């Protein structure tokens, strides 16, 4: 079954433009309520969190209306990181968790993503069943069985305590000056609080959300501001989160960036040395750099690649019994501690490595030499399929021939935006640019 609404990470789009409208959010809530309240009882719960987008108020209200109309009881967490929703879904014994966020996208976008009662994101099969209910006539609950809504005021504090419990017992961050960039997003309160409580000197960036400035010139996708603050203040390290705080990049003491691949390399090597890396395997996506694969191989470790999307990483981890995975973009998944990517948790693990080894961030953030990688995005008209045209297919085939034995090529549609992502890796910079540009030009010619 082809899913109409759900992409690689829930339902996402421009706020107040179909399908991200209040009316659709109400129907999505009602469909989810009908799916999870399948025995007709009134003991079912759903927790709802959100980031700091203005449209979050609208979607929170609409989802609540839809869910309560089918008899679900709603627990409203307010602004909390996505991993907090995964955690609290299980700890509060809820049937489903919902996060209202478009992650690293600008403020005018928003999204709805679901967690099952085990705290993990819903499977494709479950989303397909909810989609079928959206299209059907959803039977409301009887008047006496309408659900209740209650605001939970201590959600972020519960999450903060869980985060601190993952930090090595007795270890403190005293003497460490940390820049934390919260992208004016969901972690704008909890991230600085946790770092301060662990003893760090905290320098805050992106902690003044106004409904419109989430991810705007800050956060994991725009680290220049945090890098400048590091250089101005002489900070030891920077942690840059995205809008819903499920991804992270690290900045060293010079302001240089370490992406998810470098963070995973550090953690995989440290965990393997301690006998903690299950199956001696790291799970990452097809986007991860070839240098990461070579680094792991040299240590006798394995890299298992998946489709792009942290949910597919988690599915492979669960299926294989692995406990560490993630994405180059900064989703780091540690199933020993959490059910989904957690940027602040990964940042704390990096800080623990700094304290444990005594090394500067620049040493820990440079684990392997990357193979040159070039990624370009081409926007296309929704409803069209540029990859199905003969010209684009021929251009891709020609590029694969040129790269054979020298690198690799990855062409895919974004699961969250109408974009064709063209990525290649090759140690010949001229060839790399040539093959990417020829495909981009061909895609642009048919869009």
Nearest CA among 356, 354, 367 for reference residue 236: 354
Q: How far apart are CA 183 and CA 439, in angstroms?
A: 33
Find the catalytic residue in 103, 220, 288, 329: 103
Nearest CA among 270, 245, 284, 428 for reference residue 351: 270
How would you class 86 by CB atoms within 10 Å of its CB: exposed for 0-12, middle for 13-18, buried for 19 or more?
A: buried
Alpha helices in 99-252 (DSSP H): 124-135, 155-165, 190-197, 224-233
Tokens of 14: 């421009």
Would you tell me the crossing angle of helices 260-273 and 290-298 to the nearest 10 degrees? Answer: 10
Q: How far apart are CA 105 and CA 418, in angstroms?
A: 13
Let me know: does 241 contact 343? Beta carbons within 8 Å.
Answer: yes
Q: Is 395 a catalytic residue?
A: no
Q: How far apart are CA 300 and CA 320, in angstroms?
A: 18
Q: DSSP state, 390?
A: H
Q: DSSP state, 149?
A: E
Q: In this structure, is the dihedral angle defined by the CA atoms of residues 9, 10, 11 and 14, taken in order, positive or negative?
A: negative
CA 398 to chain centroid: 34
Tally Cβ neighbours within 10 Å of residue 245. Answer: 32
Phi-psi region of 125 (alpha: psi -120 to 50; beta: other; left: phi over 0): alpha
- Looking up tokens 């989609």 gives 131
Q: How far apart are CA 20 and CA 63, in angstroms?
A: 12
Q: How far apart are CA 323 and CA 364, in angstroms?
A: 21
Tokens of 254: 């010079």
Nearest CA among 60, 107, 104 for reference residue 79: 60
Q: How far apart are CA 358 and CA 316, in angstroms?
A: 34
Spatial strand order of the sheet with 332-334 comes to: 302-306, 281-285, 324-326, 332-334
Instruction: State the catalytic residues.
Output: 103
């Amino acid at each position: 079954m082809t899913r109409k609404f759900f992409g690689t990470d829930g339902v996402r789009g421009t706020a107040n433009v179909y399908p991200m409208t209040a009316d659709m959010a109400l129907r999505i809530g009602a469909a989810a309520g009908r799916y999870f309240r399948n025995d007709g009882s009134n003991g079912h719960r759903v927790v709802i969190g959100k980031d700091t987008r203005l449209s979050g108020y609208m979607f929170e209200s609409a989802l609540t209306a839809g869910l309560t109309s089918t008899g679900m009881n709603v627990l409203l967490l307010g602004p909390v990181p996505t991993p907090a929703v995964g955690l609290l879904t299980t700890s509060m014994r809820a049937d489903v968790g919902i996060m209202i966020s478009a992650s690293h996208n600008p403020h005018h976008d928003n999204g709805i993503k679901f967690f099952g009662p085990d705290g993990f994101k819903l499977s494709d099969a479950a989303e397909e069943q909810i989609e079928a209910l959206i299209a059907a006539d959803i039977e409301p609950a009887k008047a006496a069985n309408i659900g209740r809504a209650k605001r939970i005021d201590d959600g972020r504090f519960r999450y903060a305590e869980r985060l601190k419990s993952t930090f090595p017992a007795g270890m403190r961050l005293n003497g460490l000056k940390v820049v934390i960039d919260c992208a004016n997003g969901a972690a704008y309160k909890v991230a600085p609080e946790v770092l301060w409580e662990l003893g760090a000197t905290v320098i805050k960036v992106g902690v003044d959300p106004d409904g419109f400035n989430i991810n705007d010139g800050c956060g994991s996708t725009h680290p220049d501001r945090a890098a400048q603050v590091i250089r101005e203040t002489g900070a030891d390290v920077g942690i840059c989160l995205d809008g819903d705080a499920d991804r992270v990049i690290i900045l060293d003491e010079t302001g240089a960036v370490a992406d998810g691949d470098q963070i995973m390399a550090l953690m995989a090597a440290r965990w393997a040395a301690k006998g903690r890396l299950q199956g001696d395997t790291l799970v990452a996506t097809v986007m991860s750099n070839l240098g990461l694969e070579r680094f792991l191989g040299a240590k006798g470790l394995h890299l298992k690649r998946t489709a792009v999307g942290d949910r597919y990483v988690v599915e492979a981890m669960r299926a294989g019994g692995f406990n560490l995975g993630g994405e180059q973009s900064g989703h780091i998944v540690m199933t020993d501690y959490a059910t989904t990517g957690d940027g602040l948790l990964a940042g704390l693990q990096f800080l623990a490595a700094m304290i444990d080894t005594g090394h500067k961030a620049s040493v820990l953030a440079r684990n392997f030499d990357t193979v040159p990688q070039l990624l370009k995005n081409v926007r296309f008209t929704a409803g069209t399929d540029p990859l199905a045209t003969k010209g684009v297919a021929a251009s891709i085939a020609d590029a694969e021939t040129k790269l054979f034995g020298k690198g690799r090529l990855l062409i895919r549609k974004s699961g969250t935006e109408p974009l064709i992502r063209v990525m290649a890796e090759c140690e010949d910079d001229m060839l790399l640019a040539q093959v990417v540009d020829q495909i981009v030009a061909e895609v642009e010619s048919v869009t």
